[in-house]
Amino acid sequence: MSLANKVLAVNNDLPIRTDQPVHSGKVRSVYWLTEADSRRLIAERGYDVAADAPLAIMVISDRISAFECIWRGEGGMDGVPGKGAALNAISNHWFKLFREQGLADSHILEIPHPLVWIVQKARPVMIEAIARQYITGSMWRSYAKGEREFCGIEIADNLEKDSKLPELLITPSTKGILEGIPGVPAQDDVNITRSDIDNNHEAFKFQSPADIDLYEKLLKEGFDVISNELTKLDQIFVDTKFEFGYVTDKGGNEKLIYMDEVGTPDSSRIWDGGEYRNGKVVEKSKEEFRQLLLNHFPDPDILINKDRMEERTALARDNVLPEAVLMQVSKTYTDIAEKITGQAIELSENPKADIVAILRDEFGLVD
């Protein structure tokens, strides 16, 4: 069995019963269940959600995106072996710790397969909440050009590249295009300040001003939980993205929850602690793949210059990456997942067939 067969590259063609179009993102596909199936599963499985809550099957793929493009490998390996299972395993681990430590729930109701979540529909808060513990990446590039204010927060002079910040820095940005907010351009992924959120909490889909404090509290506590656990493994939690939303439980109570993924190599930077103490940054996250791409192509400006997006799209479409590049990324993802969870990441011989069988036989979601 070739490696290519173990990669789940296409995840939007499963025969899951749905009466809506499949929503396929860069990595995950979402199958909204019929109202009848949602109600049946809620009753059968005893989920703590409203009886009429819409449910979905979320299937993660092994596709890898970077610089806003999806990348493919030679030999039909159109993804990274083990990547999807590693991402889900890490998120599952952190969400479980958050619940156990009394932080908040997530949108996940059940995990029928390493690549699959059963989730409830959440009403998203329209903020991508970035938390930074070190100055690196785009923030460092802006700082090096003389910027000292980030999302309304002044930071000190004389910071060095990749150094630890004096305190955790929250630099939120808009999620999607939001119209009519004074001083906030109607564009996706625009940096915003805490006062922007305070003054327009309804536009950002917060239900009350008090929930802004709760979101910051959950953000900081979630970051600390992950950072402390990674420190025990001699890994450094550099920065990450959190997303939040609202759901209604069985008793009709509205609650703010974590959603999307959390603390993964796709949504975070993680560095090796020992190497960092020796003055070297060794990435244990997707940043490593970005660096591999920048070194692989003769003109790396195509990958970082937004004015060359057409060339970049063609580069990703017309080039297959060496198997060794994708296997290096596979090792990074599976190694960090196994380190965090203490469990081996098992690769299925035929992930799609396995998923279909489980959803048909155990959940009655495939005709």
Length of the chain: 367
Residue 95's contacts (CB-CB under 8 Å, 6 or more residues apart) are 106, 108, 258, 262
Residue 41, SS3 per DSSP: helix
Q: What pLDDT is recorded for position 138?
A: 87
Share the mean pLDDT of the chain.
95
Q: What pLDDT is recorded for position 173?
A: 94
Domains annotated for the chain, with CATH where assigned, are 3-122+342-361 (3.30.200.20), 124-277 (3.30.470.20)
Residue 283's contacts (CB-CB under 8 Å, 6 or more residues apart) are 269, 270, 271, 291, 332
Mean pLDDT across 256-276 = 97
Q: Could you tell me how far CA 328 lies from the centroid of its own chain?
A: 20
Q: What pLDDT is recorded for position 116?
A: 98
Report yes or no: 329 and 288 within 8 Å, Cβ to Cβ: yes
Band the pLDDT of 4: cuts 50, 70, 90: confident
Degrees to nearest 5, angle at CA 239 with 236 and 242: 125
* Separation of alpha carbons 125 and 128, rounded Å: 8
Each residue's pLDDT tens digit, 213-251: 999 999 999 999 999 999 999 999 999 999 999 999 999
pLDDT greater than 80 at residue 3: no
Mean pLDDT across 146-155 = 93
pLDDT greater than 70 at residue 1: no
Band the pLDDT of 5: cuts 50, 70, 90: confident
Residue pointed to by tokens 């019963």: 17
Q: What pLDDT is recorded for position 145?
A: 95
Each residue's pLDDT tens digit, 57-114: 999 999 999 999 999 999 999 999 999 999 999 999 999 999 999 999 999 999 999 9
pTM assigned to the model: 0.95
Band the pLDDT of 333: cuts 50, 70, 90: very high
What residue spans of the chain are helical by DSSP H? 3-6, 35-45, 83-100, 137-144, 194-199, 210-232, 273-277, 286-296, 301-304, 309-318, 323-341, 351-361
pLDDT greater than 80 at residue 269: yes
* Separation of alpha carbons 41 and 363, rounded Å: 8
pLDDT greater than 80 at residue 2: no
Each residue's pLDDT tens digit, 170-211: 999 999 899 889 989 998 889 999 999 999 999 999 999 999
